[in-house]
Amino acid sequence: MIKLLRHLFELFSVLIVVYSGIRILGWIYGAMTPEPLPYSESQRHAAQETGQQVQAWLSTLPLERQSVVFGNLAHDPFGFVGNPVRNAIWRSGRFDLAPRTFWERLRLRMGWTLPCWPAGESLIAYGRSRGTELAIGGSVLGFADEPKPELEVGVEIVEIATGHTVASKNFVLRSSAIGRLLDPPVSSSSPAPGAVLLWLAAILFLPLGIMPFARPLLIEGSNFAILLTLFGLVAFDVGSAYVLYAGRCAGWPGAALILLLFGLSLALNFKYLTFMKELTL
């Protein structure tokens, strides 16, 4: 019994250290990334409605289907307005839209600000580097939420070969019809301490349920049954952790943490089963 308690204490100590390390890494990552802008829900609706207006405008242009690249919008560091505009370019069906570069996708996944080639020579140079016939850029000219939602976006299409502006338009959205909605509640970047302690207790004591079946499973049983039990315990640990952190740690950091937890859980449960096998001998 003393040996069992000593092993449980070792496992619990390792989990506490790993959990503390994960929390510290999460705080460091959060401090390194730019602070998101506090857009309201009404501003979100305004951005989506502007995207629909851009799509309708593109559908009316007398242009042949050509390749195009989107240079993002100035004064829109996180693509809050630019992403709906980019989606509108694709949905219009008038262009062959070039995909984002690897670095753009990486910065988008990591929560960093997006690079921008809004207009003029920078937009033409970007389109030339991507090998497209046209380039679309622009700028967020105004984005307010008080006393009512208001959004003004300038969009222009340039021809790469000549540098001429093919079409341009300012989209002004000043409508009280959008309404002002309450901001959604800000979710915590990490689950409650009580939930974490409950998860730690569950993954520590769940393997004890195998104790009554230790001899027929670990000594008399097949290797397949042992592996199935091991990976079943690992799946529970990782799956419950994912549910606990779902929506709070996404992107590359979330994937890295899941892989780290998988390796740790595999090692801990393997040690657990080995210890149980030794007790039954």
Token pair for residue 136?
């679309």
pLDDT at position 236 is: 85
Q: Tell me which residue of 89, 84, 76 sits closest to 39, measured CA to CA.
A: 76
Most trustworthy range by pLDDT among 158-162, 201-205, 224-228, 254-258: 158-162
Alpha-carbon distance of 150 to 42, in angstroms, equals 9
Q: Is the pLDDT of residue 181 over 60?
A: no
The sign of the CA dihedral 16, 18, 22, 25 is positive
Alpha-carbon distance of 66 to 166, in angstroms, equals 12
Answer for the pair 143, 43: CB distance below 8 angstroms, yes or no. Answer: yes
Alpha-carbon distance of 203 to 8, in angstroms, equals 11
Alpha-carbon distance of 215 to 221, in angstroms, equals 8
Answer for the pair 1, 143: CB distance below 8 angstroms, yes or no. Answer: no
CA atoms within 13 A on the CB side of 186: 7
Helical ranges in 37-190 per DSSP H: 41-60, 82-91, 102-110, 120-130
Q: Tell me which residue of 48, 157, 169, 167 sits closest to 97, measured CA to CA.
A: 157
Residue 148, helix vs strand vs coil: coil
Q: Is the pLDDT of residue 70 over 90?
A: yes
Alpha-carbon distance of 106 to 112, in angstroms, equals 9
Q: Is the pLDDT of residue 4 over 90?
A: no
Answer for the pair 149, 180: CB distance below 8 angstroms, yes or no. Answer: yes
Global pTM exceeds 0.85: no
Q: Is the pLDDT of residue 84 over 60?
A: yes
Where exactly are the structural domains of the chain?
2-34+187-280, 41-178
SS3 content of the chain, % helix, strand, coil (to 5): 60, 15, 25
Which residue would you say has higher pLDDT here, 216 or 137? 137
Q: What is the mean pLDDT of the chain?
A: 79
Which residue would you say has higher pLDDT here, 57 or 37? 57
Q: Does domain 41-178 have CATH number 3.40.50.10610?
A: yes
Percentage of the residues of the chain whose pLDDT score is greater than 70: 75
